[in-house]
Amino acid sequence: MTRLRSFRAAVAVPILFGTISASAHAPAPMPMALEMLEKGAWELTPRQPGEAPIKLCLGDPRQMIQVQHLRHRCTFHVIEDRPNHTTVHYSCPGEGHGRTTLRIETSRLAQIHTQGIAEAAPFVLAYEARRKGACR
């Protein structure tokens, strides 16, 4: 009887931890709103004075989530997911984190509000994002 319990424990522990480990590293699903955005050249015009527009070639719509951390590998957690509106928290190990809300007006126009920490300093930014055409 003791051997049977030991065997069950020896089998159950790796299965349990394997399941937890796999789910912890599974990629987050793409928010519905991001699936509406057309790929191509986009320009993000800041709503605040003194900031320069951001031009990007949108391949992966998740780029819109982490505007302040475009060049970093980040993970994200979807807080709210509706067809034309999403709020996401993202984290970039060693680089910072943020919370972004996107409101999709059309497949070529979106409003982005983002805040968080980048380069050890807080940020709060808003952009109007417009598709400008094909990437060059």
Domain residue limits, the chain: 28-133
What is the pLDDT, as a whole number, of residue 32?
Answer: 87
What is the pLDDT, as a whole number, of residue 46?
Answer: 96
What is the pLDDT, as a whole number, of residue 1?
Answer: 52
pTM of the full structure: 0.76
What is the pLDDT, as a whole number, of residue 124?
Answer: 94
Question: Which residues make Cβ contacts (< 8 Å) with residue 13, sequence separation at least 6?
Answer: none
**Paired residues of 5 in beta bridges:** none
pLDDT tens digits, the chain, 136 residues: what are they? 554 444 444 444 433 333 333 334 455 678 889 999 999 999 999 998 888 999 999 988 888 999 988 888 899 999 999 989 999 999 999 999 999 999 999 999 999 999 999 989 999 999 999 999 999 8
**Paired residues of 109 in beta bridges:** 106, 130
Distance in angstroms (rounded) separating the CA atoms of residues 42 and 22? 35
Rama region for 133: left / alpha / beta (φ>0; ψ in -120 to 50; rest): left
pLDDT per residue as tens digits for the range 94-104:
999 999 999 99
Q: Using DSSP, how many helices (H) and how many strands (E) does the chain show?
A: 2, 7
